[in-house]
Amino acid sequence: MAGSLQGIKWFMLFTKKLLEVPVVSYIIRDSLKLKASDADTIVNIHVVSEKFAELILLLESNENLETVKEKLDDEYLEIPTDLVKRVFAGLILREIKGFWRVALFISTLVYPEVGNASDSLSKQDELDKRKERYISVERSIIDLGS
Protein backbone atom coordinates (compact mmCIF):
# COMPACT_ATOMS: atom_id res chain seq x y z
CA MET A 1 0.00 0.00 0.00
CA ALA A 2 2.87 2.37 0.78
CA GLY A 3 4.19 2.03 -2.75
CA SER A 4 0.85 2.73 -4.37
CA LEU A 5 0.37 5.90 -2.30
CA GLN A 6 3.93 7.15 -2.90
CA GLY A 7 2.86 9.59 -5.61
CA ILE A 8 0.54 11.57 -3.34
CA LYS A 9 2.63 11.56 -0.17
CA TRP A 10 3.14 15.34 -0.07
CA PHE A 11 -0.47 16.37 -0.67
CA MET A 12 -2.31 17.79 2.32
CA LEU A 13 -6.00 18.43 2.93
CA PHE A 14 -8.13 20.15 5.57
CA THR A 15 -10.55 18.05 7.59
CA LYS A 16 -13.98 19.19 8.78
CA LYS A 17 -12.27 20.45 11.95
CA LEU A 18 -9.86 22.50 9.78
CA LEU A 19 -6.88 20.32 10.65
CA GLU A 20 -4.25 19.88 7.97
CA VAL A 21 -3.52 16.17 7.43
CA PRO A 22 -1.62 14.23 4.76
CA VAL A 23 -3.90 12.85 2.04
CA VAL A 24 -2.31 9.41 2.51
CA SER A 25 -3.29 9.41 6.17
CA TYR A 26 -6.83 10.56 5.35
CA ILE A 27 -7.30 7.84 2.71
CA ILE A 28 -6.17 5.10 5.07
CA ARG A 29 -8.06 6.30 8.17
CA ASP A 30 -11.27 7.72 6.77
CA SER A 31 -11.77 6.16 3.34
CA LEU A 32 -10.43 2.66 3.96
CA LYS A 33 -11.39 2.72 7.66
CA LEU A 34 -8.10 1.17 8.77
CA LYS A 35 -6.39 1.81 12.10
CA ALA A 36 -4.70 5.14 12.75
CA SER A 37 -1.46 3.28 13.42
CA ASP A 38 -1.57 1.86 9.87
CA ALA A 39 -1.81 5.38 8.46
CA ASP A 40 1.08 6.55 10.64
CA THR A 41 3.18 3.59 9.51
CA ILE A 42 2.60 4.37 5.82
CA VAL A 43 3.49 8.04 6.33
CA ASN A 44 6.64 7.00 8.24
CA ILE A 45 7.63 4.61 5.44
CA HIS A 46 7.41 7.47 2.94
CA VAL A 47 9.53 9.76 5.13
CA VAL A 48 12.15 7.11 5.86
CA SER A 49 12.40 6.00 2.22
CA GLU A 50 13.85 9.44 1.46
CA LYS A 51 16.39 9.04 4.23
CA PHE A 52 17.29 5.62 2.88
CA ALA A 53 18.09 7.23 -0.48
CA GLU A 54 20.67 9.35 1.32
CA LEU A 55 21.99 6.34 3.24
CA ILE A 56 22.34 4.27 0.05
CA LEU A 57 24.51 6.95 -1.53
CA LEU A 58 26.56 7.10 1.66
CA LEU A 59 27.05 3.33 1.83
CA GLU A 60 27.95 2.98 -1.83
CA SER A 61 30.24 5.92 -2.40
CA ASN A 62 30.78 8.06 0.73
CA GLU A 63 29.59 10.83 -1.58
CA ASN A 64 27.69 12.85 1.02
CA LEU A 65 29.63 11.76 4.12
CA GLU A 66 30.49 15.31 5.23
CA THR A 67 26.90 16.55 4.74
CA VAL A 68 25.47 13.71 6.82
CA LYS A 69 28.20 14.14 9.44
CA GLU A 70 27.38 17.85 9.77
CA LYS A 71 23.67 17.08 10.23
CA LEU A 72 24.40 14.45 12.86
CA ASP A 73 26.94 16.68 14.62
CA ASP A 74 24.31 19.43 14.88
CA GLU A 75 21.85 17.08 16.57
CA TYR A 76 24.05 14.64 18.47
CA LEU A 77 27.28 16.50 19.23
CA GLU A 78 30.43 15.18 17.60
CA ILE A 79 30.46 11.78 15.97
CA PRO A 80 33.69 10.19 14.75
CA THR A 81 33.82 9.99 10.96
CA ASP A 82 34.18 6.21 10.95
CA LEU A 83 30.87 5.85 12.87
CA VAL A 84 28.72 8.18 10.74
CA LYS A 85 27.28 5.37 8.61
CA ARG A 86 26.41 3.28 11.64
CA VAL A 87 24.81 6.16 13.55
CA PHE A 88 22.83 7.35 10.53
CA ALA A 89 21.58 3.83 9.78
CA GLY A 90 20.73 3.32 13.45
CA LEU A 91 18.66 6.50 13.59
CA ILE A 92 16.75 5.49 10.47
CA LEU A 93 16.10 1.99 11.82
CA ARG A 94 14.95 3.37 15.17
CA GLU A 95 12.48 5.63 13.38
CA ILE A 96 10.94 2.92 11.18
CA LYS A 97 11.56 -0.19 13.31
CA GLY A 98 10.37 -3.42 11.66
CA PHE A 99 9.34 -1.83 8.37
CA TRP A 100 12.87 -0.82 7.36
CA ARG A 101 13.06 -3.36 4.54
CA VAL A 102 9.84 -1.99 3.02
CA ALA A 103 11.19 1.56 3.18
CA LEU A 104 14.51 0.44 1.68
CA PHE A 105 12.67 -1.37 -1.12
CA ILE A 106 10.58 1.70 -1.95
CA SER A 107 13.67 3.86 -1.84
CA THR A 108 15.55 1.70 -4.34
CA LEU A 109 12.56 1.71 -6.71
CA VAL A 110 11.47 5.33 -6.46
CA TYR A 111 14.49 7.60 -6.15
CA PRO A 112 16.33 7.95 -9.48
CA GLU A 113 19.63 9.09 -7.98
CA VAL A 114 19.71 5.81 -6.06
CA GLY A 115 18.86 3.71 -9.08
CA ASN A 116 21.23 5.49 -11.50
CA ALA A 117 18.81 4.63 -14.28
CA SER A 118 20.51 4.62 -17.65
CA ASP A 119 18.72 4.81 -20.99
CA SER A 120 21.04 2.19 -22.42
CA LEU A 121 19.89 -0.47 -19.96
CA SER A 122 16.83 -2.52 -20.69
CA LYS A 123 14.03 -2.43 -18.14
CA GLN A 124 14.92 -5.92 -16.92
CA ASP A 125 18.59 -4.99 -16.51
CA GLU A 126 17.57 -1.89 -14.58
CA LEU A 127 15.35 -3.94 -12.27
CA ASP A 128 18.13 -6.48 -11.75
CA LYS A 129 20.54 -3.69 -10.88
CA ARG A 130 18.10 -2.21 -8.37
CA LYS A 131 17.53 -5.66 -6.86
CA GLU A 132 21.27 -6.13 -6.42
CA ARG A 133 21.52 -2.67 -4.86
CA TYR A 134 18.72 -3.53 -2.41
CA ILE A 135 20.41 -6.78 -1.38
CA SER A 136 23.83 -5.17 -0.96
CA VAL A 137 22.48 -2.27 1.11
CA GLU A 138 20.42 -4.67 3.24
CA ARG A 139 23.56 -6.69 3.96
CA SER A 140 25.55 -3.53 4.71
CA ILE A 141 22.94 -2.39 7.23
CA ILE A 142 22.93 -5.79 8.93
CA ASP A 143 26.75 -5.77 9.01
CA LEU A 144 26.80 -2.29 10.56
CA GLY A 145 24.80 -3.67 13.50
CA SER A 146 27.20 -6.49 14.26
Q: Would you give per-residue pLDDT tens digits along the chain (146 residues)?
A: 666 677 677 788 887 888 888 888 888 888 888 888 888 888 888 889 888 988 888 888 877 777 777 777 677 677 777 788 888 888 899 989 899 999 999 888 887 655 454 555 677 888 888 888 889 989 998 988 76
Look at residue 41 in the predicted model and tell me its pLDDT.
Answer: 87
**How far apart are alpha carbons 17 and 26 in whole angstroms?**
13
Look at residue 139 in the predicted model and tell me its pLDDT.
Answer: 92
What separation in angstroms does the CA of 11 have from each of 23, 32, 39? 6, 18, 14
- Give domain limits for the chain: 47-145
**How far apart are alpha carbons 111 and 43 in whole angstroms?**
17
In this structure, how many other beta carbons lie within 10 angstroms of the beta carbon of residue 42?
Answer: 25
Look at residue 113 in the predicted model and tell me its pLDDT.
Answer: 59
Would strands 12-14 and 20-22 be described as parallel, antiparallel, or unpaired? antiparallel
In this structure, how many other beta carbons lie within 10 angstroms of the beta carbon of residue 16?
Answer: 5
Q: Is 18 strand, coil or helix?
A: coil
Look at residue 115 in the predicted model and tell me its pLDDT.
Answer: 47
